[in-house]
Amino acid sequence: ADGKTLTGAAQEAAVGTLVHRCLELIVRQGLAAWPTERLPTLADGWRRWLRAQGLDVAQAEAGCAEALAALHTTLGSETGRWLLADHPGGGAEQAWASCDGDVTVNHVIDRIFIADGVRWIVDYKSVRISSEELTTRAETFRPQLERYAALFSGDPLPLKLAVWFPLQGRLVELS
């Protein structure tokens, strides 16, 4: 790199991308392939990847620690494991398209599955905020989740929209 460090927002985005990718891999490969003991063995590769995204050494180290914490929290929680488990109609980072007049709009849904007769649409947000702020922050993503829900307007299954905060290990449902 050229010696410049990325802003906090760019660092948060890079870490969020890394966490998203790992959550996608967990869904695709299965929970059994991702015991928490495996996580530290991945850290060197994550640091290299974060450096390649433009983070300096200290930022890459902090970002790697944050990704490790998010994945430990997710894999260590009953809700996190349920979210990533194999479910009917399940997918991770699924690409969908809709038409808005003559314009095709692309959507990527972080996590979608059916559990107990309900279709879940879940967005992941790796944000550094307190647990008290999560419900308020989740509401800011309602328009995005409602756009995803509109893709299933003809589906007879009820829908649940939620945001998973991997750093805090919390699933916030939007009613």
pLDDT per residue as tens digits for the range 66-88: 999 999 999 999 999 999 999 99
**Residue holding tokens 């300096």?**
56
* Alpha-carbon gap, residue 95 to 106, rounded angstroms: 7
Give residue 173's pLDDT band: very low, low, confident or very high (50, 70, 90).
very high
pLDDT tens-digit series, residues 27-53:
999 999 999 999 999 999 999 999 999
User: Environment class of residue 81 by beta-carbon count within 10 Å: exposed (0-12), middle (13-18) or buried (19+)?
Assistant: middle
pLDDT exceeds 50 at position 1: no
Helix, strand or coil, per DSSP, at residue 100: strand
Confidence of residue 2 (pLDDT cuts 50, 70, 90): very low
Percent of the chain with pLDDT over 90: 76
Question: Mean per-residue pLDDT for 5-9?
Answer: 70
In this prediction, residue 106 carries a pLDDT of 77
Give CA separation, 159 vs 1, 31, 111, in Å: 45, 24, 13
Write the pLDDT tens digit of every residue in 51-66. 999 999 999 999 999 9
Closest residue by Cα to residue 66 from 26, 111, 27, 18: 18
**pLDDT digits 0-9 by tens, 138-164:** 999 999 999 999 989 889 999 999 999
Is pLDDT of 11 > 90? no
